Amino acid sequence: MKVISNRALRGFATDHPQAEAPLQGWRRVIEKNRFTSWAELKAAFNTVDKVGELAVFDIGGNKYRLIAYIRFEKQIVYIKAVLTHRDYDKGTWKP
């Protein structure tokens, strides 16, 4: 799968350096695999949840949340937001 874009991950890690390793680890797993369904994604990422049309990944032991829109048919993951758990709980990311 292709991640659009790694810039969002790097930008978040600039403000939260401890998030860089888990975020880049997540990106490597996504990019090295081909997921064709939610079931396959959930098998690889047990902590991913579906919220409407978005996927919410727990990253770094639930310290961070990565919110993405996944196009399985095109094999593209669009990153909508990367947030601390506290910012995620505010709910401003919701459509």
What domains, with CATH codes, occur in the chain? Answer: 2-86 (3.30.2310)
CA-CA-CA-CA torsion for 34, 7, 11, 44, nearest 10 degrees? 0
- Residue 10 CB partners (closer than 8 Å, separation 6+): 20
For residue range 14-69, what is the model confidence (pLDDT) as tens digits?
999 999 999 999 999 999 999 999 999 999 999 999 999 999 999 999 899 999 99
pLDDT confidence of residue 25:
96
pLDDT-derived band at 75, boundaries 50, 70, 90: very high
For residue range 8-17, what is the model confidence (pLDDT) as tens digits?
999 999 999 9
